[in-house]
Structure 1
């Protein structure tokens, strides 16, 4: 068992309300799943479907709900009479209502869907709930579910009057913010606090929040000029999925359009790189020598050792002894605009795969357990240190090894100091060392390298992508959408990191190049988003200034005519009154 399981499970089995704080990937799901199933399995008389919901688990995302449900599915085989189920958005409500009518004992759901069924489904009752689990509490609050969680807790109080002491509540979170503590005060009664975030971990502090990353997770950064971002990412993917054993990675992007474009592009382009490649070929050795200056520019100079190595490798290829690699790197995508059916299929496919690349937005940054993921790549940097920690938590799970890499432009280097100020130590990866992987054979049946130098290989790949966009309108449209969405997301970085990610210092033309586009930023409408935002701000300020002037006039009594005019007034200026002399009648004596 993991440290958090060793400390929290006895408390939960003892019937105490428990607040668990632990870094991502520490086995928090089993921490509450095992005690709940044990308690329900030992219940006498035996649990039946007709008993209704006995355990309610609230999670922030659909994928995490499915993952938690699958854990209960695996564990309940020893007590098949305990029925787990789930409620998530994107599924057919009619089918969910039917499952609820048949009976569910352990219900896992997202807040929005649970509230929907509580208001519209008579067969869903919380009167029998014995266990309430709030998983990823900090993420629930970040996503704006505070009101929904409060509503669920109030519904429990209404349907279980006076049963607060008999209901056990378990709250789990990677961080303990003020919002989490407030939620804990609302739902927990004299809780047992289990904090294992500092054990076997690297702890960092962000304002009042304590963050932690596993000790077996190594952090890296890569400083890349804007023009070389795309080819460097391609080279890094090749280095891990073709030349190395770390063949499973997750890449985070800022927007859904960026995910769509890069998934389609790399599925088309990188599938042509290498079919059977050794982990350390003479080609890569030669590239290392070029880097070290031991060879010239590479126009055909081979020493006898290289020739012998190539002859040996050719013999191995003929005899089928070479190390085989998959013909195509499997690229998959995951973001919030996909249908629930597609999201579930991708989640299951990538989870079961031995190798592949998942390109996603922050929808996959919390709670999801993806086995054997060795690398987390942040092509778009996270807005905060907390978001960074949650992203990298998809690797190095349950004592496994893992690595994280963040792509940064040279002007964004202060981001490194920001992370290091929170005691997250990063090591630099040399860009040239990554780019040498582009010298792999382009044609699977060819032994010839793509180019003699890394610069030539990078240029060839860049031109190949640009030509693809020129010849294929579908790819071109995807690239344009990705570029515009990138510009908008870059302009929306929060104030805390805006100095590091300065939109005004952004070279829009170079970033268009990094998408494979030859159009000018003006033609792509890159500045339109920023200009629209600026104009909206100016209109808002002008409107606010006008309102303040009106308030001052009202206070001084200088109201405009329209503000003081009666609805019965003709609107014409009033005529001045004539002064009439009143004749005084003389008294008759």
Structure 2
């Protein structure tokens, strides 16, 4: 198995497994029920995917392992990591917000591994699209969040459907969760790698807003911080859209993200944020879990988090692995720093005349073709190079979804490229191409 580990690490461009990941592999080799407690951003995904891989019998038919997660974003992230591991084992991702028929087609020939959200998985099981009798291993990732979001009934239905289950692995970023009886975690081995503290690379600061409406303070703060990747957390969807709109009115380039958006709108917003078309993302706590976006420098708590756990998960989007990051709370005139922040916290002065940060050098194109059209990243690079006359350095991050794709293009070249490619074909098919909305 050592060679397999080396191949996986090489594929993921990782030098070595960390202590938590090695402990998880060992525990899952020796025990049927394992609880893995570890901080957000510490590498839990690989800590359970390798045990999943070890549990699979490549000669056996049917689905053998099921991973249940609280959000579609986390499901997609896990799918991406699994594919990047180059295991040669089929995975299918199931989540709400897009056509069930797409997943039904993928499930016709049962994949060895399925990852998905409770609602969609329960739906497929009821429709018998997922045959549960061959499933031997279950992973409940971010289990505390699934309970917090009210998925108890769906989880109970799913687990009661898994009659042949032999192994259970439950992960959480908190040790306060009560595990319901239906999970049947009998005599589990618990691995506690929670630090109990913010990551050492995380600095916590605050700024005082003279007004209850914190918009001007947030604007001044973003201008002071400059053109760095920043997430602004609000407590409500309406506040997200209002804050995003008003910051854009003031001249900032910003995108927003929340649970009431259509799936393609969410994916477009995240693509723009990931590829640098926008360095500012305004969001609800939906983005506090499962979004693996590298190099986020600042977290701004526009609204104070309602609990310490939410504060921790929001902050977990930055200072990941070896990177540093800063979390900044905006304190209104009738507010104070939360009691759970016990350390010395630096006050930031945002008074002064700051220039609006330089606009991003990238823009995002929407391409109306994706994996189901047999289009991949290499096809898109070739198309933009040959038909759009772009150099390699003018093409940024590419994300290929099932039925459409997003690609970052250097903004200075965007208008010229669009004119060149408007009536051209990708893989002999004319597709819709425009600047992503």
| Superposition TM-score, scaled by structure 2 size | 0.73
Q: 2: CA distance between counterparts of 1:347 and 1:53?
A: 31
Using a 3 Å threshold, how does the CA distance of structure 1 residues 88 and 55 change in structure 2: closer, same or farther? same
Q: Which residue number corresponds to residue 176 of structure 1? A: 175
Deviation at 1:66, TM superposition (A): 1.1
Deviation at 1:376, TM superposition (A): 0.8
1:188 aligns with 2:158: no
Q: 1: CA distance between counterparts of 2:78 and 2:242?
A: 31
Q: Which of 252, 256, 261 is the equivalent residue of 2:237?
A: 256
Deviation at 1:382, TM superposition (A): 0.9
Q: 1: CA distance between counterparts of 2:104 and 2:355?
A: 55
Q: Which residue number corresponds to residue 67 of structure 2? A: 57
Q: Which residue number corresponds to residue 222 of structure 2? A: 237
Q: 2: CA distance between counterparts of 1:262 and 1:123?
A: 42
Using a 3 Å threshold, how does the CA distance of structure 1 residues 155 and 357 change in structure 2: closer, same or farther? same
Deviation at 1:63, TM superposition (A): 1.1
1:69 aligns with 2:79: yes
1:130 aligns with 2:136: yes
Q: Which residue number corresponds to residue 430 of structure 2? A: none
The RMSD of aligned alpha carbons is: 2.3
Deviation at 1:355, TM superposition (A): 6.3
| Residues 212, 332 of structure 2: 8 Å contact kept | no
| Residues 248, 354 of structure 1: 8 Å contact kept | no
Q: Which residue number corresponds to residue 39 of structure 2? A: 23
Q: 2: CA distance between counterparts of 1:402 and 1:59?
A: 26
Q: Secondary structure of the equivalent of 2:334?
A: helix
Q: Secondary structure of the equivalent of 2:175?
A: coil
Q: 2: CA distance between counterparts of 1:231 and 1:14?
A: 56
Deviation at 1:349, TM superposition (A): 3.6
In structure 2, runs of 5+ residues without a counterpart are: 1-16, 360-437
Structure with the higher strand share, 1 or 2: 2
1:427 aligns with 2:345: yes
| Residues 241, 356 of structure 1: 8 Å contact kept | no
Using a 3 Å threshold, how does the CA distance of structure 1 residues 34 and 426 change in structure 2: closer, same or farther? farther
Q: For residues 436-447 of structure 1, what are the structure 2 equivalents within 5 Å?
A: 436=352, 438-440=353-355
Using a 3 Å threshold, how does the CA distance of structure 1 residues 426 and 403 change in structure 2: closer, same or farther? farther
| Residues 85, 106 of structure 1: 8 Å contact kept | yes
Q: Which residue number corresponds to residue 218 of structure 1? A: 203
Using a 3 Å threshold, how does the CA distance of structure 1 residues 426 and 115 change in structure 2: closer, same or farther? farther
In structure 1, runs of 5+ residues without a counterpart are: 204-211, 272-328, 445-589
Using a 3 Å threshold, how does the CA distance of structure 1 residues 441 and 155 change in structure 2: closer, same or farther? closer
Q: Which residue number corresponds to residue 145 of structure 2? A: 139
Q: For residues 78-227 of structure 1, what are the structure 2 equivalents within 5 Å?
A: 79-80=87-88, 82-120=89-127, 122-157=128-163, 160=164, 164=165, 167-179=166-178, 181-182=179-180, 186-198=183-195, 203=196, 212-226=197-211
| Superposition TM-score, scaled by structure 1 size | 0.55
Using a 3 Å threshold, how does the CA distance of structure 1 residues 113 and 228 change in structure 2: closer, same or farther? closer
Q: Secondary structure of the equivalent of 1:412?
A: coil
Deviation at 1:337, TM superposition (A): 0.7
The structure with the largest alpha-carbon Rg is 1
Q: 2: CA distance between counterparts of 1:443 and 1:95?
A: 41
Q: Which of 381, 384, 396 is the equivalent residue of 2:304?
A: 381
Using a 3 Å threshold, how does the CA distance of structure 1 residues 383 and 190 change in structure 2: closer, same or farther? same
Using a 3 Å threshold, how does the CA distance of structure 1 residues 16 and 227 change in structure 2: closer, same or farther? closer
Deviation at 1:352, TM superposition (A): 3.8
Using a 3 Å threshold, how does the CA distance of structure 1 residues 355 and 335 change in structure 2: closer, same or farther? closer
Q: For residues 230-379 of structure 1, what are the structure 2 equivalents within 5 Å?
A: 230-242=215-227, 247-271=228-252, 329=253, 331-353=254-276, 356-379=279-302
Using a 3 Å threshold, how does the CA distance of structure 1 residues 110 and 227 change in structure 2: closer, same or farther? closer
CA deviations 1:403-461 (Å, max 9, x no partner) are: 11111123312x43x123xx4x2513233xx232x3327999xxxxxxxxxxxxxxxxx
Deviation at 1:384, TM superposition (A): 1.2
Q: Secondary structure of the equivalent of 1:359?
A: strand
Q: Which residue number corresponds to residue 282 of structure 1? A: none
Equivalenced residue count is 343
Q: Secondary structure of the equivalent of 2:294?
A: coil
Using a 3 Å threshold, how does the CA distance of structure 1 residues 442 and 388 change in structure 2: closer, same or farther? closer
Q: 2: CA distance between counterparts of 1:228 and 1:341?
A: 31
Q: 1: CA distance between counterparts of 2:356 and 2:204?
A: 30
| Residues 94, 121 of structure 2: 8 Å contact kept | yes
Deviation at 1:72, TM superposition (A): 1.2
Deviation at 1:38, TM superposition (A): 4.2
| Residues 223, 354 of structure 2: 8 Å contact kept | no
Q: Secondary structure of the equivalent of 1:259?
A: helix
Q: Which of 306, 314, 330 is the equivalent residue of 1:407?
A: 330
Q: 2: CA distance between counterparts of 1:442 and 1:366?
A: 28
Deviation at 1:373, TM superposition (A): 0.6
Provide runs of 4+ in structure 1 moved above 6 Å: 441-444
